[in-house]
Amino acid sequence: MAKVKFMETALRDAHQSLIATRMTTEEMLPIAEKLDKVGYYALEVWGGATFDSCLRFLNEDPWERLRELRKVFKNTKLQMLLRGQNILGYKHYPDDVVEEFVKKAIENGIDIVRIFDALNDLRNLETSIKAVKKYGGHAQGAISYTVSPVHNNKYYVNLARDMVQMGVDSICIKDMSGILLPYVAYDLVKDLKVAVEVPIEVHSHFTSGIANLSYLKAIEAGADIIDTAISPLGNGTSQPATEPMIAALEGTEYYPDIDFDLLLEVSEYFKGLRDKYMKAGLLDPKVLNVDVNTLKYQVPGGMLSNLVSQLKAQGKEELYDEVLKEIPKVREELGFPPLVTPMSQMVGTTALFNVITGERYKMVPTETKNYVKGLYGRPPKPISDEIRKKIIGDDEVFEGRPADMLEPQLDNYRNEIREYIEQDEDVLSYALFPQVAIPFFKQRLAAKYKIETDLLDQENQTHPV
């Protein structure tokens, strides 16, 4: 048995889970040097919703954030989360965009790319895995963990074997809802350790209150790495807190090579930040509670808060319990997709429409229709003809790899924003989030030339860059 390694999520998933990804680069840099010396295996600093949030809410260049962090982190690997063919967006992108994105992420400082697909459709991971290997990164294949009649240990072991065949360097059990039970975790890790020879990492959320127990059983079964969050940003809908997990291993062979005193200094820093977020109203105390409904409905914490805000907007908050009960029904009828982005949004919104309209599948989001048409990949279980007809009528279902339908787009994107380009990476920012990238580019130009952004809109003029 080896010492367990820790991957710290404070700079990505922890603040994404608790404060809607609002931590700024300016708040990260003062503690970066200490974080680098603690002894973590890796730090998750990028990907997920951080890219969108930087541009949309923080007026930051996500690429610049990555470069700034890379300068400081000399000892620790930097990790990101990639949604396979969706990159960091909510739809499929052409292969040329995926490859260029991976190339630039690695060039700018990423060591480990965790790649997942919401449906566990491995065809949606092919391009990303090849690109990570091509440009010298560590490709981690992530299993989107869920529970259903079609998802069991045998299913996950086969997935892991196929991922290793595709060239991944490690496997992550990605439990986004916090529903991986302790003894199930033990058995699954045991089975994976027999089936594949690459390291096994376990990622969970504390939403249902059991993830730390599942981590302990996973470690006993041979898990190599666990994902935790420094305690001021831990627990709740975030990951289990780092310090208690380390303390729980004291006196065992699993105890990590981590400077615990330095870790306490890191914790003090983040306590100050947490207090600031509380005062600003960014951190809702509700997200720190244990929600046992998660075990019944398998709904991730972020999805629950989205449902509440959607119902509030409609003035239908009293329908919350009804929508919650509708979610598992919709999920079953849509072939038991794991409830992770973008499938969680599709299932949740479809269930919401079913309840609000009073007629099931009378009103269906476009994304759900596209999913049923096969444009996101293969459902874990085939969708019945009855449900398919209700949702898309007689429209054809595409059986191939969804990205095969997409033409290369990188050159088109480059031409569309040529007057704004200051770095190659700008093309990728625009490709992923055109509606927020353009205002960001305009502000950047305005600051550079000390002019008002509305003048750029009025004159539509080109500036030398």
Query: pLDDT digits over 229-250, tens only?
Result: 999 999 999 999 999 999 999 9
Q: What is the mean pLDDT of residues 38-43?
A: 98
Does residue 380 have a cis peptide bond before it, meaning omega lies within 30 degrees of 0? no
Q: What is the mean pLDDT of residues 194-220?
A: 97
The fraction of the chain above a pLDDT of 70, given in percent, is 96
Q: In this model, does residue 329 exceed pLDDT 60?
A: yes
Q: What is the mean pLDDT of residues 144-150?
A: 95
Encoded amino acid at 294, one letter: T
Encoded amino acid at 420, one letter: Y
Rounded distance between C-alpha atoms, residue 302 and residue 176, angstroms: 10
Rounded distance between C-alpha atoms, residue 284 and residue 299, angstroms: 18
User: 433: closest CA among 60, 45, 15?
Assistant: 60
Say which range, 48-57, 68-77, 106-115, 337-346, has the weakest mean pLDDT: 337-346
Output the pLDDT for position 297.
81
Place of tokens 């502000």: 443
Output the pLDDT for position 303.
74
Classify the C-alpha dihedral 359-361-362-368 as positive or negative.
Answer: positive
Output the pLDDT for position 452.
60
pTM: 0.94
Output the pLDDT for position 458.
53
CB 52 within 8 A of CB 436: yes
Rounded distance between C-alpha atoms, residue 2 and residue 68, angstroms: 33
Max CA distance (Å), the chain: 69
Output the pLDDT for position 52.
96
Q: What is the mean pLDDT of residues 213-233?
A: 98
* Cβ atoms within 10 Å, residue 213: 16
Helix axes 260-280, 25-37, angle to 10 degrees: 170
Identify the DSSP state of 229: B
Identify the DSSP state of 11: I
User: 48: closest CA among 95, 87, 10?
Assistant: 87
Residues 70-93 have pLDDT tens digits of 999 999 999 999 999 999 998 899
Output the pLDDT for position 299.
77
> How far apart, in Å, are the Cα atoms of 433 and each of 206, 278, 363?
30, 29, 27
Rounded distance between C-alpha atoms, residue 36 and residue 222, angstroms: 26
Q: What is the mean pLDDT of residues 110-135?
A: 98
Q: In this model, does residue 257 exceed pLDDT 50?
A: yes
Rounded distance between C-alpha atoms, residue 229 and residue 254, angstroms: 18
For residues 282 and 124, the model is more confident at 124
Output the pLDDT for position 102.
98
What average pLDDT does the chain have? 94
CB 140 within 8 A of CB 112: yes
Share of the chain residues as helix, strand and coil, in percent rounded to the nearest 5: 55, 10, 35
H helix runs in 108-210, sequence order: 126-134, 153-166, 182-195
Output the pLDDT for position 294.
85
- Residue 298, classed as helix, strand or coil, is coil
∠ Cα 287 289 294 (to 5°): 85
H helix runs in 182-259, sequence order: 182-195, 211-220, 242-248
CB 198 within 8 A of CB 211: no
Q: In this model, does residue 465 exceed pLDDT 60?
A: no
The contacts of residue 282 (CB under 8 Å, 6+ apart) are 19, 20, 22
* Cβ atoms within 10 Å, residue 325: 13
Output the pLDDT for position 463.
34
Q: What is the mean pLDDT of residues 432-437?
A: 97
Q: How confident is the model at residue 300 (pLDDT cuts 50, 70, 90)?
A: confident
Q: How confident is the model at residue 464 (pLDDT cuts 50, 70, 90)?
A: very low
∠ Cα 59 62 64 (to 5°): 100
Q: How confident is the model at residue 461 (pLDDT cuts 50, 70, 90)?
A: very low
